[in-house]
Amino acid sequence: MAAPAEVQLQIADTSGVMQSMRTEEQKAPLPVVHLSNSPSSSTLALLILSLVGIIATFALACVTLGYVVDIDNCDDTPNEVVKVVQNYTHITDYVATCLDGRHNALTGPSNAITGENICAGVKYTVEGIQDSDGNYMFANSQCIVDNIVAVMEQAGGNVTVGYHGTMDSVGRGDHPIQTPYWQAGLCPVNVHWHLGAEHLSVGQYDEKGTGPSTASDEEPHRKLLAGDVRNGNMCHLYDATDETFTKEYDWKHCVDMHVGQTYEVHWPHSAAGACGTPNQYQTPFYDGVFCNLGLVNLSIVEKQVGVQAQVFTIVNDERYYYPDLMRGMIVDGARGTNMTYYTGSTTGTSRDNQICSNYAPITWQVDRVCSVISASSFDKMCADMKAQRDDMSDDFYAHGSRITVADHLTANNQVWKYTE
């Protein structure tokens, strides 16, 4: 039979190579060069190359292991970590282990940044502003007084193409910013998200969507927070038979988040933010929006303050990883291009169709399309939030969603953008 003969031949050949290699190693420091002109020596070269490969892999593994130990000891500086490491798990582990959340990359071991957080607490200053009758101008108030609408337009409402509210914002001269915010001189000052969508886009995220939390009110995430976290509108992408939507992710930085769930992410922007400084990102977002209070002109506030909103269903699938979610909504392909612009207010569950927000009018730019995103994208965002000077920990988990705004409290100035 031919096969055993071949095997025998190979064994014989290999042992010959081993033998000659040993001999050559004893004789000369450069055996590959020396033997490179015969057929058996090319086999030898291959063998040596693979040995070198194995040794290199082993060395790399040692370096990696040693490196992990370094993270545990927190000896490396963040810059060294970024240089060595090719994937974000190491970086986020480093941030969590070595920089301890609030003692973040900026105020950490290097002490390179020594200024004040000038935005901290501005929210309380704003809340204290009174009108001539002594009423707190920005406190929530009754939406309807004596059968008359007593507030400005509210957000989040129906953003479906064709939908107009019935409040005459156009007649009052309120129009949303219709360029990207950066072109209008605004920068992002915060990121936070809501459980389910506060807005409603028919067929994308609405009352008919589904997700894991619609299965039971006993979901653990409903218990962890004080009070009830109201779920909002849901996307239509959830598939209970597909692991992508059901296999939980090993969350390290965001709190109480779930694969398969719909979240509406908000990026409040402001022309009065601490743009381009270590104080840019703030929690609560009001500190960021009003940081340079003197720059706010209340008669054109919808041109100075705007929010981007984008709705996602979380998947356990790294193909949908996006590393920079903290900086603003994704504008790429089908994302961030089918937009509804309108004016409204701040949102959240302290407002409904009886009690309204007086932080209005402000611009809203809302992506009408729901898209999937990997859980790791959110976790990376939370790690980035931990690296800000301000303590953003109150925004590491989902906030509740308000109920959809009624027609009579929604503006009539909607502008619809489409994918080109």
Ligand X SMILES: *[C@@H]1O[C@H](CO)[C@@H](O)[C@H](O)[C@H]1NC(C)=O
Q: For residues 194 and 208, give the distance between their C-alpha atoms in angstroms, rounded to a whole number.
A: 18
Instruction: Please pick, from the candidates 117, 140, 190, 204, the single residue that binds ligand X as defined by CB under 6 A.
Output: 204
CB-count exposure of residue 132 (10 Å: 0-12, 13-18, 19+): exposed
Q: Is 250 in the site for ligand X (CB under 6 A)?
A: no
**CA pair distance 60, 62, nearest whole angstrom:** 5
Nearer Cβ to ligand X, position 259 or 369? Answer: 369
DSSP letter for each residue of 140-169: -EESEETTEE-S---SS-B-STT---SB-H
- By CB under 6 A, residue 126 contacts ligand X: no
Applying CB under 6 A, the span of 99-107, 141-149, 250-258, 294-302 interacting with ligand X comes to 294-302
Residues in the chain: 420
Q: Is 401 in the site for ligand X (CB under 6 A)?
A: no
Judged by CB under 6 A, the residue of 77, 107, 141, 160 near ligand X is 160
Residues 6+ apart with CB under 8 A from 193: 263, 264, 265, 266, 395, 398, 399
418 binds ligand X (CB under 6 A): yes
Q: In the complex with ligand X, which residue's Cβ is closer, 86 or 216?
A: 86
Of 47, 113, 202, 403, which lies in the binding site for ligand X, with binding defined by CB under 6 A? 202
Q: Name the phi and psi angles at 56, rounded to 5.
A: -60, -45
Q: How far is the CB of 414 from ligand X (least distance, A)?
A: 10
Of 357 and 410, the one with the shorter C-beta distance to ligand X is 410
Least distance from C-beta 96 to ligand X, angstroms?
13
CB closer to ligand X out of 187 and 200: 200
Stretch that binds ligand X, among 141-149, 189-197, 200-208, 219-227 (CB under 6 A): 200-208
Q: Is 369 in the site for ligand X (CB under 6 A)?
A: yes
In whole angstroms, how close is the CB of 113 to ligand X at the nearest point?
28
Collapsing DSSP states into helix, strand and coil, what is residue 42?
Answer: helix
- The interaxial angle of helices 88-98 and 375-386, nearest 10 deg, is 40
User: Does residue 363 bind ligand X (CB under 6 A)?
Assistant: no
Least separation, in Å, of the C-beta of 226 and ligand X? 30
Binding mask 315-354 for ligand X (x = CB under 6 A): -----------------------x----------------
Could you say which of 87, 147, 183, 216 contacts ligand X (CB under 6 A)?
Answer: 87
Distant-in-sequence, close-in-space partners of 147: CB < 8 Å, separation ≥ 6: none
Task: In angstroms, give the least distance from the CB of 15 to ligand X.
Answer: 38
CB atoms near residue 285 (< 10 Å): 25
**Closest distance of CB 46 from ligand X, Å:** 28
Residues 108 and 387 sit within 8 Å (Cβ to Cβ): no
* Residue 14 CA: distances (Å) to CA of 7, 9, 28: 10, 8, 20
Q: Which of 293, 300, 331, 415 binds ligand X (CB under 6 A)?
A: 300
Residue 294 makes contact with ligand X by CB under 6 A: no
DSSP state of 269: E
Q: In the set 92, 117, 140, 158, which binds ligand X (CB under 6 A)?
A: 158
Residue 315: strand, helix, or coil: strand
Does the footprint of ligand X cover residue 61 (CB under 6 A)? no
Single residue of 20, 43, 77, 89 touching ligand X by CB under 6 A: 89
Q: What angle do CA 30, 33, 38 make, to 5 degrees?
A: 130
When binding is defined by CB under 6 A, the residue of 161, 215, 224, 293 that contacts ligand X is 161
Select from 358, 413, 411 the least CA-distant residue to 150.
358
Minimum distance from CB of 185 to ligand X (Å)?
Answer: 14
Residue by residue, DSSP assigns 246-261 as: HS----SSSSS--TT-
Q: Which residues bind ligand X (CB under 6 A)?
A: 87, 89-90, 158, 160-163, 200, 202, 204, 297, 299-300, 338, 368-369, 418-419
